[in-house]
Amino acid sequence: MKKTYLSRMLLLVPFFFLLAGCQEMPEGDDGVTAKPIVLTKSQQTVLNKGNDFSFNLLKETYRENLGGNLFLSPMGVTIVSSMLANGANGPTYDEIVAAIGMKGSSLDQINECYATMVDALVKVDSSVGLSLANSIWLGNGLSLRKKFSNNMAKVFDAESFTVDFGASGTLDQVNAWCSKKTSGLIPKMFEQLSAQVRMLLINALYFKGDWVYTFPEADTKEDVFVTSTGSVRMPFMHLTAELEGYQDETVSVVKMPYGNGAFMMEAVAPSGDFDAFLSGLSLEKLQQWDRAAKKTTVILSFPKFTAEFDTEEMLVPVLNRLGMVRAFGSMADFSNMTDESLYVDKFRQKTYVSVDEKGTKAAAVTVAEMRKNVGGPSQDVLTLNFNRPFVYLIRETSTGAILFIGTKVK
């Protein structure tokens, strides 16, 4: 794995400019401040476990990708895995639940949490464009068990389609669904579909948020981003505003709200070796920095960038290392899903993110492709310059739900 060595560059600005450049926190576009999503204790426990899984997923995918820039939707992986869990039985079920960090929570508790989140996330801020959609694509002749089918509709609000995976038009139909649900950001999820596919479980997540505090376009200038192998030049946006931030000798943290404040981007840049930092990163540490962060004047330098990421074949070995093994082979038991003996042949995610002066666009499509199993079953003013590798997340603020997580290292 590549080692990342970081350096700090401080942006010095006269004090009178700090005061003149500060912006006041507005309300949402309709004058309404964000209302928190209210979860029960068991629902919050499930969500916290899902957030903890986000960091395990990031670390293992970073390892599989041999470092580099990543952008993932842990919520997408968790939702598709939870859909699989509803159809799994025995050790296959146990492994799926353990891999996504849900050990100790019942399937009913997991379903209850995600039923609430699927409904609530799209309603919490009308000024933010958010779409969360699920679908099941069944090969001709495949029938689902009633309980599984009911849970897909009731819990995940999943659309259901019966198709001929061997027909030429099916590929276009599936890609069109993915493109529509991500507003065109993931226009082509599949290059081809095998006639051997028996089922697709798909989650599509789309986010478009305008910053509460926009970066002045005239202030965007090219500058240096320090990488493990040297440095690269890229456009940097600059802003002085009242933001939540935190800085000590080991880390810099900033929270940048969208819309009415219900969603935010949180960026965390270590002062030392990035790979060592990432290996020790956890939800607990993020929560510690969240508690330490305070609203203060922040002089912020942040890169403007667009990135696309395709896990391709990575997620199967990643999920294997996290404990999900049987689902991908002849030992798979999805007898609570259908009478046919099925296994997960591919688990894949494609993502897109664009960060500019106005805000952020992000999208992800996550797919489990199933086939027939032929075997058998701080300070007053913070100066934060993100000119070095960092981790960034897009979160819902009241529950802490992590929609997207990524690394920017070059």
Distance in angstroms (rounded) separating the CA atoms of residues 336 and 372: 15
230-265: pLDDT as tens digits: 899 999 999 999 999 999 999 999 999 999 999 999
pLDDT band, very low/low/confident/very high, at 375 (cuts 50, 70, 90)? low
CA neighbor of 296 nearest in space, from 255, 340, 344: 255
Residue 256 belongs to a domain with what CATH number? Answer: 2.30.39.10
**Residue 227: is its pLDDT beyond 70?**
yes
What value does the mean pLDDT take over residues 100-124?
A: 94
Q: What is the pLDDT of residue 83?
A: 98
**Residue 20: is its pLDDT beyond 60?**
no
Q: What is the pLDDT of residue 34?
A: 79
The answer as to whether 2 is a domain residue is no
Q: Are 125 and 59 within one domain?
A: yes
**Residue 269: is its pLDDT beyond 90?**
yes
**Residue 24: is its pLDDT beyond 70?**
no
CB 139 within 8 A of CB 198: yes
Q: What is the pLDDT of residue 380?
A: 58
pLDDT band, very low/low/confident/very high, at 61 (cuts 50, 70, 90)? very high
Q: What is the pLDDT of residue 195?
A: 95
Q: Are 134 and 279 within one domain?
A: no
pLDDT band, very low/low/confident/very high, at 382 (cuts 50, 70, 90)? confident
Q: Are 49 and 27 within one domain?
A: no
Among 5-14, 43-52, 354-363, whose mean pLDDT is lowest?
Answer: 5-14
What value does the mean pLDDT take over residues 328-335?
A: 95
Distance in angstroms (rounded) separating the CA atoms of residues 79 and 162: 21
Q: Are 202 and 65 within one domain?
A: yes
What value does the mean pLDDT take over residues 68-93?
A: 96
The answer as to whether 3 is a domain residue is no
CA neighbor of 206 nearest in space, from 135, 133, 262, 102: 133
**Residue 112: is its pLDDT beyond 50?**
yes
Q: What is the pLDDT of residue 81?
A: 98
Q: Are 69 and 171 within one domain?
A: yes
What does pTM read for this prediction?
Answer: 0.88
Among 10-14, 247-251, 337-341, 355-359, whose mean pLDDT is lowest?
Answer: 10-14
Q: What is the pLDDT of residue 32?
A: 62
Mean pLDDT of the chain: 89
Q: Are 260 and 351 within one domain?
A: no
Q: What is the pLDDT of residue 19?
A: 29
The answer as to whether 10 is a domain residue is no
Q: Are 215 and 246 within one domain?
A: yes
CA neighbor of 200 nearest in space, from 143, 134, 136: 136
The answer as to whether 5 is a domain residue is no
Return the HEC string of 127-159: CCEEEEEEEEEEECCCCECHHHHHHHHHCCCCE
Q: What is the pLDDT of residue 385?
A: 86
Please count the structural domains in the chain: 2
The answer as to whether 84 is a domain residue is yes
Residue 87 belongs to a domain with what CATH number? Answer: 3.30.497.10
The answer as to whether 163 is a domain residue is yes
Q: Are 297 and 253 within one domain?
A: yes
Q: Are 287 and 355 within one domain?
A: no
Q: What is the pLDDT of residue 237?
A: 97
278-329: pLDDT as tens digits: 999 999 999 999 999 999 999 999 999 999 999 999 999 999 999 999 999 9
CB 91 within 8 A of CB 98: no
Q: Are 165 and 22 within one domain?
A: no
The answer as to whether 244 is a domain residue is yes
Q: What is the pLDDT of residue 184?
A: 98
Q: What is the pLDDT of residue 158?
A: 97
* Structural domain for 346, as ranges: 41-209+306-368
**Residue 374: is its pLDDT beyond 50?**
yes
